[in-house]
Amino acid sequence: MNSQSNCLSIAAAVLVANILLSLTMQPVAAVENVPDRRNDKALFVHGLSTQELDIVLSAFAATYKDELRNFRYLIRAEGPVQHAVFPNDLEPRLFSFLVNYAQYPQGLNLTQRSVISVGTATVTAAFGAPAEVVGRKAVLYVPTDDGDFDLVYVAVGEKTFRQSFTNMRWKRETDRRMAQTVQAYIK
Whether the per-residue pLDDT at 30 is higher than 90: the answer is no
Do β-strands 116-122 and 151-156 pair in parallel, antiparallel, or remain unpaired?
unpaired
Whether the per-residue pLDDT at 164 is higher than 80: the answer is yes
Euclidean distance between CA atoms 120 and 150, whole angstroms: 18
Euclidean distance between CA atoms 65 and 134, whole angstroms: 28
Residue 144, burial from CB neighbour count under 10 angstroms (0-12, 13-18, 19+): middle
- Residue type at position 30: A
Whether the per-residue pLDDT at 51 is higher than 70: the answer is yes
pLDDT tens-digit readout, 63-74: 999 999 889 999
pLDDT tens-digit readout, 90-120: 999 999 999 999 999 988 998 889 999 999 9
Instruction: Give me the pLDDT at residue 33, please.
Output: 56
Instruction: Give me the pLDDT at residue 129, please.
Output: 96
Q: Are 139 and 147 in contact (CB under 8 A)?
A: no
Three-state DSSP class for residue 14 = helix
What letter would DSSP give residue 163?
A: E
Neighbours of 122 (CB within 10 A): 14
Instruction: Give me the pLDDT at residue 4, please.
Output: 46
Whether the per-residue pLDDT at 24 is higher than 60: the answer is no
Q: Are 27 and 170 in contact (CB under 8 A)?
A: yes
What pTM was estimated for this model as a whole? 0.81
Instruction: Give me the pLDDT at residue 32, please.
Output: 58
Instruction: Give me the pLDDT at residue 187, please.
Output: 75
Whole-number Cα distances in Å, 12 to 6, 18, 128:
10, 10, 30
